[in-house]
Amino acid sequence: DAGITQSPRHKVTETGTPVTLRCHQTENHRYMYWYRQDPGHGLRLIHYSYGVKDTDKGEVSDGYSVSRSKTEDFLLTLESATSSQTSVYFCAISGGGVTGELFFGEGSRLTVL
């Protein structure tokens, strides 16, 4: 299994509170991604990173920010959580190339009350 750890795995929070999800990899892969998965929508890209301090927006980036200060860590922050951000969040990593192989973490289940 690819060395990807997401934390926390489960979190319940209240509307308006800040939340940070952490993704840690031990593979030294260049690319890291945050996806959210919701019924009827599948996996949607929130933000991705192509190197330390290099990030870009994905399809559903509003309300989210990211940071990558080290190769191994990619943080996803919800500045002020809303109920619409209740979801399962997946971190993924990739070494690049064109095969489309992303390695996914186990997911972080976030509930915003």
* Residue 13 found at the interface with other proteins (CB under 8 A): no
Q: Minimum Å distance from CB 31 to other proteins?
A: 5
Which of residues 34, 48, 64, 74 is near other proteins by CB under 8 A? Answer: 48
Task: Let me know the angle formed at the C-alpha of 112 by 24 and 48, rounded to the nearest 5 degrees.
Answer: 35
- Starting at the edge strand found earlier in the chain, the sheet holding 4-7 runs 4-7, 19-25, 73-78, 64-70
* Residue 3 found at the interface with other proteins (CB under 8 A): no
Bridge partners of 29? none
**Strand, coil or helix: what is 54?**
strand
Using CB under 8 A as the binding criterion, the count of chain residues that bind other proteins stands at: 29
* Residue 53 found at the interface with other proteins (CB under 8 A): no
Summarize as ranges the residues that interact with other proteins (CB under 8 A): 4, 31, 33, 35, 40-45, 48, 50, 58-59, 90, 92, 94, 96-107
